[in-house]
Each structure stands twice: as structure tokens, then as C-alpha cells.
């Protein structure tokens, strides 16, 4: 079997007609799996060798019913379909012919003229309220038309900055060729491989029974490294519910819709989806300019680099050369000795935590960009680290895709971690935070004895937004992302913070999530060789 078309249905009056239309117009090795979710079909579905019906005595919800049908399929491709759609002849083979395994594909979407109300007075009323549009009588008869309207032909969709689905007619001029990209999709029909359906959890029941289906599928496809495509060589027609009494068959509340949308925001906008290989900002940048979103291309980015100048020269040279090659952003370096790297600020201070905070603040005050990446002197930064753009200006973001490498023997360790060397955020937020941090630390240094001061520093923490202890600087929150390739944190004898190489060294084992040990780093190889090679490049 090549394609399984799965239809979740509850009290759908046009289910039988939709299935009949699929059977009439399919030309490939295609089947239909329909879930009658808590209601028998009326009218009933005729027996057919290519149709499988599943009846749930109690409704499980649209997403759960969709997954139920998907688990029954053994086909290479799955297409989720609403129960009130019509199709182009050969739509299935046309979609499969141009399909790629990491794509989610939709046909052109037309409007389905499903029925008219016919009155004894001779007037026909388009599928609106059950009432004659001529004389006003309500004893009208439904006559099925089942015709795809020639327009509109929708091919472009997006979501706004609340993750609300939107049509995007303006983007159609940018969709060149028979197969083109679309930022999002309308959830009434879409196709993916069965493997991707389950690998990416394209119908996550945590969203609730209904809502955000198109946004979810689109974001997961794009963020996993795939593409959302519209195939203009074929079409389907979708009937939109236009009257009271022909509303959505599942109970829907404003609270449920709000939950689904908030879940989308937290999962995608805050980069919490664990299977993402691209940050959420990549989507906005890729389709820029996007209405309702700040244009990432209009946001400037820069680097604050700080060092205590105690690092081995070969390591420092390698890290600086790598940083220069990884990004062409403006670099403001803040050092305890004068140096020729970026736009240098020299602070003649002694090494300490307070000094480090002052260095960061000095760099922020000098830099004039919208967005700032923090870079430390003993980290090798990959170019993909700098592709990220923060979705919000009140959240601190951390790239948790970082490997720690023990320089003495080359041992490599990864666990998902938020650390200052991987921080990126809006400059305005960081200025506010570090001005408060420097003032609070100076006050603690003046008023506390040495032991109390050290405890204060530990309790205050070093990564903005990562804890809720009373010593925190402010109430900013944090989120994470993972760059396509990792950064490398070189651990050596001069690190300001200690290293932990065994799980039992962590009091809270949640900080060991993603634990992996190796002899080399993906994309980098042996780090000691990499340092040697980079530091000698001209």
C-alpha cells in the first residue's frame, strides 16, 4: 500500500460522500481508514475493499482518532483528511510522484460547494443558514451539489505572532514553479511519510482534541530540517462550515483553543521542542518579511567577548580565529590586558566574578546592536550558533548544544546545559539585568563577610533567568535552543568554574539529561587536533 488517507469523523453528514469522492478519483495503491469517533456514520458507508472503518463507542477526540487510524496503516505515506472534501482526478499519484521523504505536502486548496437549500418558491440558497434567501421560508430542502469552486486557489499560509493560522495571499507571488514552499498549512488535508508522522509526532495529543493542527505540522516539519510544500499540479476542495447547526462536531471551548495556542507558543517559539535542529527564528527569517513579525533581517546582531587573559595562548588564538570565521558580526572584546581583537575595551581589574560581570556590562554598553551573543575565550563557536534570532525580547536564550572537552586527554562530554557562554538575548534586556547584577554584587561585597559573600555569589547564579532563588537578580525567564552543530567548551586548568565529568557529581540528576561521552565531537573531530590546526591558519 502506498497511501493511507485517514479521516477522523464524528457526526459528519458528508463522510460517505467524501469517501466516495476519494475512491472515484484515486489512481494509485491507496486506501481509506475512517474512525467513527463516538457516532455511527449517517448515511452509512458502503462496503469497499479499500475502506476500513473503526467505530469508537465513546469519542476519544480528533487527534487521538487520527493517531488511531495512523497506527493501523502500513503504507509508506499518510494523508490526514477532513470528512467534507472533494478531490482532483489522480490526486494521490500526483502527490506521490513529486514527494520527498522529509517533506509535508498539501495540494492547492479550493472551496467545496457542497449543497444548496432549495425552496418551493424556486430560489436556491448557497450553503448558509437553513432558510430561503428569497422568501425567507425555513422549510427548505438540502440538495447536494458537490462541486469544487474554481476560486480561490489557496497555496500560501502562515501563522501570526500569537501562532494563529492565517491565509497569506501576498506570498503567492513568491511561490514560483509547480511545487513551492509555504510557511504553514491549513489542517484539512496534508500528506507525510508514515515514518515522519510518528518520528515527529505530527498529531501530538497534548495540544488537546482540536486546534493548531496546521501550525503544529508545519513547525515540526520545518524545525526538524524538512520542508512544507504545496503541489500546484493537483487540488482538493474543502467545505467550510458556514451555518449554525453545521458547526464543528467536537465540543470546542475558548479555553481549549487558548490552551492549544499557548502550547504552540511554549513548544515552538520558546524552542522547547526537543527534536528541532533549527531554531524557531529560522522559520521567520526564511520567509521574511512576514506580517505580524519583526523582520529578523532588520535586527542587528553583535558579540560581547570577555577574557581574563590567563588562557594558554594557543587555545586563545584558536578560539579567536574560529570566532572570526564563524561570524562577521561586530565583536566588542573586554579584557584585563590590552589586546588586538575586535573593538577592545581594557579594564585594569583583578580577576573575579564581579570583574566578569563588569566586563560583560562594559561590552553591552559599548555594543550598539539589537541582539547580543556572549562569547568566552575558551569556547570554539560553530557558525550555526549565530543563526538563531530570539523570538521574544523579554526572554534570555541559551544554546544547549555544547560539548565539554577535557584538554588533558581529549575526553568529550555532552549533556544539555544552560551556560553563559551560550547566551543570546536582546541587548536592552541584558543591559537591564547586568546593571542590576553589578550593583547587587557590589553591595554584597561591601556588606557581607567573605563566607557570606561566596554563598551569595553561588546563590545568585551566573545564568540569567535559570532559577527562582531569592538571590536572583530579576524575574526574567529563559528558554533554550540547539544549533545544528555544537559549540565546544574547552576545559583546562584555568577555568573559572569547576568541571564535573561523572553523573554522580550532580546533586540534581535532571542536569545530566542528554548525557553522552565520546572521543571526538560531531562536526569537529579531535579537539586537540582542531586547536592545533585552527591556531596555525593564516
Q: pLDDT for 444-484, tens place per residue?
A: 999 999 999 999 988 888 899 888 888 888 889 999 888 88
What pLDDT is recorded for position 309?
A: 92
CB distance 120 to 235 below 8 Å: no
Write out the three cell numbers for 264. 504552540
Of the listed ranges 6-10, 24-28, 295-299, the least confidently predicted one is 295-299
Helix (H) or strand (E) holding 537: none
3-state helix, strand, coil in the chain (%, to 5): 30, 25, 45
Of the listed ranges 150-164, 299-313, 425-439, 519-533, the least confidently predicted one is 519-533
Work out whether strand 411-414 and strand 516-518 pair parallel, antiparallel, or are unpaired: antiparallel
Helix (H, G, I), strand (E, B) or coil at 264: helix
Q: How far apart are CA 267 and CA 265, in angstroms?
A: 6
Q: How far apart are CA 109 and CA 463, in angstroms?
A: 47
What pLDDT is recorded for position 319?
A: 92
pLDDT digits (tens, 9 = 90+) for 317-359: 999 999 988 888 899 999 999 999 999 999 999 999 999 999 9
What pLDDT is recorded for position 436?
A: 94
As a whole number, mean pLDDT of residues 226-248 equals 79
Q: What percent of the chain has pLDDT over 70?
A: 94
Residue with cell 462550515: 241
Q: How far apart are CA 200 and CA 197, in angstroms?
A: 6
Long-range contacts of 160-168, Cβ-Cβ distance < 8 Å, separation of 24 or more = 160/291, 160/292, 160/293, 161/292, 161/293, 162/261, 162/265, 163/212, 163/215, 163/261, 163/264, 163/265, 163/268, 163/269, 164/261, 165/212, 165/214, 165/215, 166/291, 166/292, 168/291
Give the residue ranges of DSSP H helices in 244-352: 254-264, 280-287, 313-326
What pLDDT is recorded for position 538?
A: 45
Domains defined along the chain, listed by start: 3-287 (3.90.550.10), 299-535 (3.90.550)
Q: How far apart are CA 360 and CA 290, in angstroms?
A: 33
What pLDDT is recorded for position 461?
A: 85
What pLDDT is recorded for position 244?
A: 41
Q: What is the DSSP letter of 18?
A: H
CB distance 460 to 473 below 8 Å: yes
pLDDT digits (tens, 9 = 90+) for 351-394: 999 999 999 999 999 998 989 999 999 999 998 899 888 878 88
Of 440, 357, 409, the C-alpha closest to 527 is 409
The residue with greater pLDDT, 199 or 163, is 199
The residue with greater pLDDT, 244 or 193, is 193
CB count, 10 Å around CB of 515?
A: 14
The pLDDT mean for the chain works out to: 88
As a whole number, mean pLDDT of residues 436-449 equals 93
Of 256, 260, 267, 258, the C-alpha closest to 219 is 267
What pLDDT is recorded for position 251?
A: 58
Q: How far apart are CA 381 and CA 489, in angstroms?
A: 9
Write out the three cell numbers for 247. 458547526
Of 390, 370, 391, the C-alpha closest to 298 is 370
Strand partners, 238: 85, 111
As a whole number, mean pLDDT of residues 15-37 equals 96
Amino acid at each position: 500500500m502506498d497511501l493511507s488517507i485517514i479521516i477522523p469523523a464524528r457526526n459528519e453528514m458528508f463522510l460517505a460522500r467524501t469517501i466516495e469522492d476519494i475512491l472515484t478519483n484515486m489512481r494509485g495503491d491507496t486506501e481509506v481508514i475512517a474512525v467513527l469517533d463516538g457516532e455511527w456514520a449517517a448515511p452509512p458507508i458502503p462496503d469497499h475493499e479499500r475502506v476500513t472503518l473503526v467505530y469508537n463507542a465513546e469519542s476519544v477526540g480528533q487527534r487521538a482518532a487520527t493517531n488511531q487510524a495512523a497506527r493501523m496503516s502500513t503504507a509508506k505515506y499518510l494523508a490526514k483528511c477532513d470528512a467534507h472534501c472533494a478531490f482532483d482526478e489522480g490526486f494521490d499519484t500526483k502527490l506521490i510522484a513529486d514527494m520527498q521523504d522529509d517533506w509535508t505536502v498539501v495540494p492547492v486548496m479550493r472551496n467545496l460547494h457542497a449543497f444548496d437549500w432549495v425552496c418551493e418558491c424556486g430560489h436556491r440558497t448557497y450553503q448558509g443558514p437553513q432558510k430561503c434567501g428569497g422568501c425567507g421560508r425555513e422549510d427548505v430542502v438540502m440538495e447536494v451539489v458537490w462541486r469544487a469552486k474554481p476560486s480561490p486557489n489557496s497555496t500560501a499560509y502562515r501563522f501570526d505572532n500569537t501562532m494563529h493560522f492565517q491565509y497569506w495571499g501576498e506570498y503567492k507571488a513568491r511561490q514560483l514553479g509547480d511545487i513551492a514552499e509555504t510557511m504553514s498549512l491549513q489542517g484539512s488535508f496534508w500528506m507525510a511519510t508514515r515514518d515522519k508522522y510518528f518520528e515527529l509526532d505530527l498529531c501530538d495529543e497534548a495540544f488537546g482534541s482540536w486546534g493548531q493542527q496546521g501550525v503544529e505540522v508545519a513547525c515540526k516539519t520545518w524545525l526538524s530540517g524538512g520542508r512544507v510544500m504545496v503541489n500546484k499540479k493537483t487540488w482538493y476542495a474543502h467545505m467550510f462550515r458556514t451555518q449554525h447547526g453545521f458547526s464543528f462536531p467536537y465540543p470546542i471551548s475558548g479555553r481549549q483553543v487558548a490552551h492549544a495556542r499557548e502550547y504552540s507558543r511554549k513548544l515552538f517559539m520558546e524552542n522547547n521542542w526537543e527534536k528541532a535542529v533549527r531554531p524557531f527564528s529560522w522559520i521567520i527569517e526564511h520567509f521574511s518579511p512576514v506580517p505580524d513579525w519583526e523582520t529578523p533581517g532588520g535586527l542587528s546582531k553583535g558579540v560581547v567577548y570577555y577574557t581574563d587573559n590567563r588562557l594558554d595562548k594557543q587555545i586563545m588564538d584558536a578560539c579567536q580565529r574560529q570566532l572570526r570565521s564563524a561570524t562577521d558580526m561586530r565583536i566588542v572584546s573586554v579584557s584585563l590586558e590590552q589586546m588586538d581583537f575586535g573593538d577592545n575595551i581594557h579594564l585594569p581589574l583583578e580577576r573575579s566574578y564581579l570583574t566578569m560581570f563588569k566586563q560583560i556590562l562594559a561590552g553591552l554598553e559599548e555594543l550598539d546592536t539589537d541582539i547580543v551573543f556572549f562569547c568566552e575565550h575558551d569556547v570554539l563557536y560553530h557558525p550555526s550558533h549565530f543563526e538563531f534570532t530570539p523570538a521574544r525580547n523579554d526572554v534570555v536564550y541559551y544554546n544547549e548544544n555544547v560539548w565539554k572537552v577535557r584538554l588533558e586527554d581529549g575526553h568529550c562530554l555532552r549533556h544539555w546545559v544552560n551556560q553563559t557562554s551560550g547566551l543570546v538575548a536582546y541587548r536592552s534586556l541584558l543591559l537591564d539585568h547586568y546593571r542590576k547584577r553589578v550593583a547587587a554584587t557590589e553591595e554584597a561585597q561591601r556588606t557581607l563577610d567573605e563566607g557570606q559573600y561566596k554563598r551569595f555569589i553561588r546563590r545568585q547564579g551566573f545564568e540569567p533567568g535559570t532559577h527562582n532563588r531569592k538571590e536572583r537578580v530579576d524575574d526574567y525567564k529563559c528558554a533554550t535552543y540547539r544549533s545544528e552543530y555544537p559549540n565546544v567548551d574547552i576545559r583546562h586548568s584555568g577555568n573559572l568554574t569547576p568541571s564535573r565529568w561523572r553523573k554522580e557529581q550532580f546533586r540534581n540528576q535532571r542536569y545530566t539529561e542528554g548525557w553522552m561521552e565520546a572521543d571526538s565531537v560531531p562536526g569537529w573531530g579531535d579537539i586537540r587536533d582542531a586547536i592545533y590546526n585552527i591556531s596555525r591558519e593564516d
